[in-house]
Amino acid sequence: MANISTKAQQMPASAIRKLVPYADAAKKQGVKVYHLNIGQPDIDSPECALNAVKGNMPQHVSYSHSAGIMELRQGLVEKYYRKIGIDIEVPEIIITVAGSESVNLALEIACDAGDEVIVLEPFYTNYNTFAFLNGITLKAIPTDIRNGFQVPPIEEFEKAITDRTRAILVCNPGNPSGTLYSKENMLAIGEIARKHDLFLISDEVYREFCYTDEPHFSAMNIPDLDQNVILVDSVSKRYNLCGVRVGCIISRNKEVMAAAMKFAQARLCPPVLGQMASIGALDTPDEYFTAVREEYIRRRDYMTGRLNKMEGVFTPVPMGAFYTIAELPVDDAESFAKWMLEEFRINGETTMITPAASFYKTPGYGKNHARLSYVLEIPEMEKAMTILEEGLKAYPGRTSGK
């Protein structure tokens, strides 16, 4: 039998999706699974986005331009980015196959194999996947759950920089922590990037989900850093259009965008029907975002309140996105998550969470942490939390916690 490649053998499994077979097996047994494991909101997509596809279905779905449909690129520039204070021109944006392709492109453009990228941990697990695929080393700077995973002193960045460092990669607001970086945080990180002439790759796909009075501050607005910033964005979370797989990469650096265009041409084009939905989404009224934000605040407050009342559990209150990291009184969060899916039931129901060790790079970190997504309506979340609490009490590997 032919052998698969070493890369295929060593490819890291998705921390978010690798327990799906256990959930599928439970469902085949008739068990209802409450999914707190994935950032898949249950909120309706805007009608204008859906109608843009329903009402304009072409007779022949042809390729679009490799950089994306011009109407979408222009619409994003004029109807979205300029509206929120990010002043860019059409040549500075290329539509991608979701935000995931944007992250991968940014890493490919910024780094050669053997180079290093600084990240704050915990970080989105697919950063590790894309780094692996490109032969890049992630240098993780730890953050502390007890202070809400806030940005550590800038001296920690200086310690992590070597002659192979090419970029700093941030997610603001953060997945998996929900941490929101302030303007001061971003300016300080920008100063490090400027000082060492590093790329600053800023993943801002959760921009609309900020729960403070202070507005989100984009890396694109850091003064005198135009040639260093690469912005990653997506319509998935903002418009609840996860399945359309449309994102974008943005930079004022012409060399970056010329390189991105070559990669874009190699994969031909982004999803055409997804781009059509994204064009329609640009007409989403402000009231939609206001209502969604308020709903997520209610869900966040309910989930974090319930978690912190559970014996041995601690979670900070996230200021962005729709995730929180919880410290659990268990010997191993992955073993606990599997046990919940395989063995624990209350009235034929169980809860699925994401073990968080794969969101960390430092060995041993996150072993008893889990990421939970507050993407269910509160009545459903109430049931999920009750099952989780009872499961923690019954789990054979329970520890004292806190």
What local confidence, expressed as pLDDT, does residue 56 receive? 84
Distances (CA, A) of 104 to 53, 130, 162, 252: 28, 6, 22, 18
Q: Is the pLDDT of residue 365 over 90?
A: yes
What local confidence, expressed as pLDDT, does residue 59 receive? 86
Segment 311-320 mean pLDDT: 97
Query: Which tens digits make up the pLDDT trace of 218-265?
Result: 999 999 999 999 999 999 999 999 999 999 999 999 999 999 999 999
Q: Give percent of the chain above pLDDT 70.
A: 99
Segment 124-149 mean pLDDT: 96
Please provide the DSSP assignment of 192-233 as one string.
HHHHHT-EEEEE-TTTT-B-SSSPP--GGGSTT-TTTEEEEE
Q: How many residues are listed for the chain in this entry? A: 402
Q: Which residues have CB under 8 Å from 123's CB, separation 6+?
A: 138, 140, 169, 171, 174, 176, 359, 361
Q: Is the pLDDT of residue 107 over 90?
A: yes
Q: What stretch(es) of the chain map to CATH 3.90.1150.10?
A: 9-44+287-394
Query: Which tens digits make up the pLDDT trace of 67-92?
Result: 999 999 999 999 999 999 999 999 99
Confidence of residue 402 (pLDDT cuts 50, 70, 90): low
Cβ(120)–Cβ(141) below 8 Å: yes
Q: Is the pLDDT of residue 166 over 80?
A: yes
What local confidence, expressed as pLDDT, does residue 179 receive? 97
H/E stretch holding 326 reads strand 323-327
Q: Is the pLDDT of residue 279 over 70?
A: yes
CATH number of 9-44+287-394: 3.90.1150.10
Residue 201 burial (CB count, 10 A): 31
Segment 194-213 mean pLDDT: 97
Q: What stretch(es) of the chain map to CATH 3.40.640.10?
A: 47-281
CA atoms within 13 A on the CB side of 114: 2
Q: Which residues pair with 32 in a beta bridge?
A: 349
Distance CA 225, CA 114 (A): 25
What local confidence, expressed as pLDDT, does residue 60 receive? 87
Segment 368-373 mean pLDDT: 97
Q: Give percent of the chain above pLDDT 90.
A: 93
What is the average pLDDT value for the chain, to the nearest integer?
95
Kindly give the interhelix angle for 98-110 and 254-266, rounded to the nearest 10 degrees. 120
Distance CA 178, CA 325 (A): 8
CATH number of 47-281: 3.40.640.10
Q: Is the pLDDT of residue 14 over 80?
A: no
